[in-house]
Chain A
Amino acid sequence: EAGVAQSPRYKIIEKRQSVAFWCNPISGHATLYWYQQILGQGPKLLIQFQNNGVVDDSQLPKDRFSAERLKGVDSTLKIQPAKLEDSAVYLCASSSRRSDRGLGYTFGSGTRLTVV
């Protein structure tokens, strides 16, 4: 099966600019996750979708971050305006529930954002 697709792979922007990331999950995966990974830390969940509904966005900085998954398939994550501390790798993942083997989480290659 095809993996989780993310674009772009790299992005450099100036602070106060806006940026958008795109994710296309594995076909049929109802759950989609966006994680933020700052250098030297583990990934932190920003938002979780179940189909096109938000399940958990408790750690999403809503004053500057937004995400949508309009048709329950691909998703976009936007930052506006960006701050220096937003420099990180943004990871998209999708999952399917398999009762015999637990959850199968698959991660994309990530987008490395540098804010200067």
Chain B
Amino acid sequence: EAGVTQSPTHLIKTRGQQATLRCSPISGHTSVYWYQQALGLGLQFLLWYDEGEERNRGNFPPRFSGRQFPNYSSELNVNALELEDSALYLCASSLLDQNTEAFFGQGTRLTVV
């Protein structure tokens, strides 16, 4: 069974540009989570989607946005990139059940220059 897949693996953008990151969850999982992990720091909760709807949002500015498609895959968009947006962006998926595990993709390393 395929795990969570993220693309691209690496992304280099210039300050002010937009970045789009993609995530495909494990088959059957409807919940998708996005996290930002800056170098040497912990996982900061960005967004949680389930059944196509945004269920919760972390303390990030509106230029961080996303969506979930009918097949439960998800996109994270970051507009007006800033140097401090450089980080590892991680996607995880889970069933919509609090007593089930969440599994991560390999992440997208975004570098803003």
Q: Do A and B come from one complex?
A: no
